[in-house]
Amino acid sequence: MSNLAPLNEAIKKGNRNEAKRLVTEAIAAKLPPREILDAMVAAMDEIGARFQRNEVFVPEMLIASRAMKEALAILEPTLVKAGITPEFTAVIGTVQGDLHDIGKNLVAMMWKGANFAVVDLGTNVSPEAFVKAAQEHKAKIVGLSGLLTTTMPAMKQAVEALRKAGLPGLKVMIGGAPITAEFAKEIGADGFSPDAASAVDLARKLAVA
C-alpha cells in the first residue's frame, strides 16, 4: 500500500491530474490491479467518513469523486483483464412526480467512487421502470430519492412494486429532504440514508446482508 499512498492522497485531495498520472504509473509498474483499486476506494471511503463528520463538504467531496472517476476510467481495462468487476450494481432514481436531482446525483457520484456499477434512471421514475431496471441489471440495491412531501407516497408505491416483483436479494434504500428512518420502516424499505456519504456505507451493508 505504501507505494500507492500518493495515489490515495491525490484522490482525497481531488487532484485529478495527479491521480491519473499515478494510476497510469501504477499500471505500468504492474502493481496488482486489486491493490490499486483498493487504494483508490480507500481514499473515497475516507472522504465519505470525513464528510459525515463535517470535516469536508460538498466541494471537496465532488473534486475527490471526479478524480476517482477519471482515474478509475484509466484503470478499468486492467481490471477487466484481471476479471475484477464492480462490487455490485445499484440502480438509482428520483421517484415519480418529483424532478429534483441534486441529492440523487451526489449519491450516484459517491456510489461510482465506491466502485459500484451505477444505473441512473434520472428523475420522475415510475415504479415499473425501477422494477425493469433492477431486473435487467440484476441490481443488488435500488436507491429511491425524493425531495417533496407530496412524492413520499410515490416512494411507497415504488417499494411495493419492487417487493411484488420478488427480486431475490434486492435491497431498497431511500433518501431525501423529508425522509426519515421511521418513514423507511413504515413503507418497508430496507434503509434510509441522510446524505450521500452515508449512502455508500448503507449500500455496502445492505448488499452483504
Partner 1 sequence: MTKLTSQERVSRAFAHKPHDRVPRSESFWPDTITRWKKEGLMGGSREVLELLETDFHNINWLWPRPFPGDEQLVSEDAETHVVRDESGRLLRRWKHKSGTPEHLGFECDSREIWEKKYKPAFMETGLQINPAATMRAYREGRGKGRWCMLNAVESFEQTRAIIGDEVTMIAMAEDPDWVRDISQTVTDIALQNLDAAMATGITPDGLFVYGDMAFKTATFCSPQMYKDLIWPDHKRFADWAHAHRMKFIYHTDGNVNNAIDLYLEAGFDCLQPLECKAGMDIRKLCPKYGDKMAFFGNIDVMAMKDNNLAVIEHEIASKFAAGMKTNAYIYHSDHSVPPQVSWETYKAVIELVKKYGQY
**Strand 171-175 versus strand 191-192 pairing type:** parallel
Task: Give yes or no for residue 147 binding partner 1 (CB under 8 A).
Answer: yes
What is the distance between the alpha carbons of residues 187 and 125, in angstroms, rounded to a whole number? 18
Binding track, positions 72-111, relative to partner 1; x by CB under 8 A:
-------------------------xxxxxxx-x------
DSSP bridge pairs for 174: 144, 192
177-203 burial, b at 16+ Cβ within 10 Å, e below that, comes to eebeeebbeebebbbbbebbbbbbbbb
CA 149 to chain centre: 24
Q: Applying CB under 8 A, which of residues 14, 93, 113, 143 lies at the interface with partner 1? A: 14
Task: Give yes or no for residue 66 binding partner 1 (CB under 8 A).
Answer: yes
What is the distance between the alpha carbons of residues 22 and 25, in angstroms, rounded to a whole number? 5
Task: Give yes or no for residue 149 binding partner 1 (CB under 8 A).
Answer: yes
Residues 108-127 that bind partner 1 (CB under 8 A): 122-124
- 137: which residues sit within 8 A by CB, 6+ positions away? 89, 91, 117, 119
Of 103 and 191, which has the nearer Cβ to partner 1?
Answer: 103
Q: How far is the CB of 40 from partner 1 (least distance, A)?
A: 19
DSSP state of 126: -
8 A C-beta contact, residue 90 and residue 173: no
Q: How far is the CB of 15 from partner 1 (least distance, A)?
A: 10
Of 3 and 149, which has the nearer Cβ to partner 1?
Answer: 149
Q: Applying CB under 8 A, which of residues 128, 178, 181, 186 lies at the interface with partner 1? A: 178
Task: Give yes or no for residue 180 binding partner 1 (CB under 8 A).
Answer: yes
Residue 56 identity: V
Task: Give yes or no for residue 186 binding partner 1 (CB under 8 A).
Answer: no
Phi, psi of 68 (to 5 degrees): -60, -50
Q: How far is the CB of 205 from partner 1 (least distance, A)?
A: 19
Q: Applying CB under 8 A, which of residues 10, 23, 37, 56 lies at the interface with partner 1? A: 56
Residues 23-52 that bind partner 1 (CB under 8 A): none
Task: Give yes or no for residue 59 binding partner 1 (CB under 8 A).
Answer: yes
What is the distance between the alpha carbons of residues 76 and 57, in angstroms, rounded to a whole number? 28
Q: Which residues bind partner 1 (CB under 8 A)?
A: 14, 54, 56-60, 62-63, 66, 97-103, 105, 122-124, 147-150, 177-178, 180, 194-195
